[in-house]
């Protein structure tokens, strides 16, 4: 049986992951409106990854005999200043998620819930990747500046991104 406090915290994290998906979908619509379909695709795939994260927590609670309690998902922002603004907000958002995952790890340790601690290591690793990816794109966009052709090349590259569920969950 899952520890009660950990169950409550993971339920809150499910809401955060679903919100993250919503957040990236909103960014995807922004890119559609400014004519960058590759970036829109990148965000759409990112939203799917967030849904995957939410379901990973969802399934874990069920596997441990707990109860999933879904709550309302907040509306994400819908106005963005530029592609750089979007990816800077993405990076900030992922840093926030990392701190939430770290809090969950701390809680699992405090509660001596070793199974949850082990499960959370997947997310610890995932956040390293999420932050590195967002930070890398922010760096590229800063270099690109107002270079339209370089931005279109990046957009082309992002059109190839596909959602691939991890083999080992
Ligand atoms: Fe599920 Fe991007 O953190």
Q: Please give the pLDDT value at position 165.
A: 86
**Which residue in 59, 55, 66, 63 sits closest to 18, CA to CA?**
55
Q: Please give the pLDDT value at position 160.
A: 97
DSSP helix/strand/coil, 154: helix
Q: Please give the pLDDT value at position 1.
A: 85
pLDDT digits (tens, 9 = 90+) for 87-133: 999 999 999 999 999 999 999 999 999 999 999 999 999 999 999 99
Q: What is the torsion angle, in degrees rounded to the nearest 10, for the CA atoms of residue 29, residue 34, residue 38 and residue 41?
A: 0
Cβ 43 under 6 angstroms from ligand 1? no
A 10 A CB-CB count for 39 gives: 27
Task: Say which residues have a Cβ less than 8 Å from residue 15's Cβ, sequence separation at least 6.
Answer: 70, 71, 73
The ranges of the chain with pLDDT < 70 are: 168-169
Cβ 130 under 6 angstroms from ligand 1? yes
Q: Please give the pLDDT value at position 166.
A: 79
Sequence ranges of the domains in the chain: 4-158
Check: CB of residue 88 under 8 Å from CB of residue 25.
no
Q: Please give the pLDDT value at position 169.
A: 52
Give 4-158's CATH code, choosing from 1.20.1260.10, 3.30.428.10, 1.10.490.20, 3.40.50.1820: 1.20.1260.10
Cβ 17 under 6 angstroms from ligand 1? yes
The Cα–Cα gap between 90 and 5 comes to 29
Q: Please give the pLDDT value at position 40.
A: 98
Q: Which atom of ligand 1 is nearest to the CA of 16?
A: 1
């Amino acid at each position: 049986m899952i520890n009660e406090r950990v169950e409550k915290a993971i339920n809150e994290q499910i809401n955060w992951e679903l919100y993250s998906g919503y957040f990236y979908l909103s960014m995807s619509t922004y890119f559609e409106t400014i004519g960058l379909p590759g970036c829109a695709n990148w965000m759409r795939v990112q939203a799917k990854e967030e849904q995957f994260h939410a379901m990973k927590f969802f399934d874990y609670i069920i596997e441990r005999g707990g109860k999933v309690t879904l709550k309302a998902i907040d509306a994400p922002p819908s106005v963005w200043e530029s592609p750089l603004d979007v990816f800077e907000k993405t990076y900030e958002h992922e840093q926030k998620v990392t701190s939430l995952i770290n809090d969950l790890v701390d809680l699992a340790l405090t509660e001596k819930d070793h199974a949850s601690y082990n499960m959370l290591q997947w997310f610890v690793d995932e956040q390293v990747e999420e932050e590195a990816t967002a930070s890398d794109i922010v760096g590229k966009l800063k270099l690109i500046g107002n270079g339209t052709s370089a931005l279109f090349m990046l957009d082309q590259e992002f059109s190839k991104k596909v959602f691939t569920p991890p083999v080992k969950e």
